A and B are shown apart, each in its own frame.
Chain A
Amino acid sequence: MRSALAALAAAALAAATPARAFVRTTAERTGKPLAWRFPVVPWHVNRDWPATSPSCRPTPAGDPTLDALRASFAQWEQPCANLELPYAGEVPELHTGDGGSYENVVVFRRGWCSQHDQAKLDPCMSDPDVDCGGIYGCFEDSTDCIGQTSCPLDWGIVALTSVLYDPSSGRILDADIELNGWDGVAGNIGSPPQHGWYFTCYPGAGTAQPQATCNRYGEPTAGQPDCASMDLQNTVTHEVGHFVGLRHPCTTDRNREPDLPSCGAGVPAGAVPFADRTMSPTTDVLETKKRHLSPDDLAGLCAIYPEPGGCGCGGGQGAGAVSLLAVLLALRPRRRR
Chain B
Amino acid sequence: MRRALALYLLAAAAPAAAATFLATSVEEAARSSEVVARARVVSATARLTRDGRRVVTDVELAVLDAWKGAPEPTVRLVVPGGSTGRIAMWVDAAPTFEPGEEVVVFLSREGAGWRVKGLAQGKFRVDGLDARPALAEAAVLPRALAAGERAIGTMPVAELERRVRAAR
Chain A interfacial positions (CB closer than 8 Å to B) = 25, 27-30, 34, 95, 97-99, 123, 125-131, 142-145, 148, 150-168, 173-174, 191-192, 235, 238-239, 242, 247-248, 252-253, 255-256, 280-285
Contacts and interface: CB of A to CB of B under 8 A. Distances in A.
The 5 A-B pairs with the shortest beta carbon distances in the complex, nearest first, are: A153-B118, A156-B22, A126-B111, A128-B78, A158-B20
A25 B138 CA distance: 13
Interface of A: prevailing SS: loop
Contacts of A282: 139-142
Given A97-B15, A164-B15, A256-B133, A151 B32 contact: yes
A144 B9 contact: no
Contact of B135 (A164, A247, A253): A253
Interface of B: 6, 9-25, 28-29, 32-34, 49-54, 56, 78, 87-91, 93, 106, 108-111, 113, 115, 117-119, 121-122, 130, 132-144, 153-154
A166 B32 contact: no
B90 A28 contact: yes
A142 B20 contact: no
A162 B94 CA distance: 11
Contact of B130 (A143, A145, A255): A255
A283 B20 CA distance: 8
- Looking at B20, B119, B154, which has the most chain A CB atoms within 10 Å of its CB? B20
Contacts of B6: 29
Nearest to B111: A126
Given A97-B53, A155-B22, 6 more contacts: A98-B53, A128-B110, A157-B21, A165-B15, A242-B16, A282-B139
A144 B106 CA distance: 12
Contact of B56 (A129, A164, A285): A129
B29 A152 contact: yes
A156 B16 contact: no
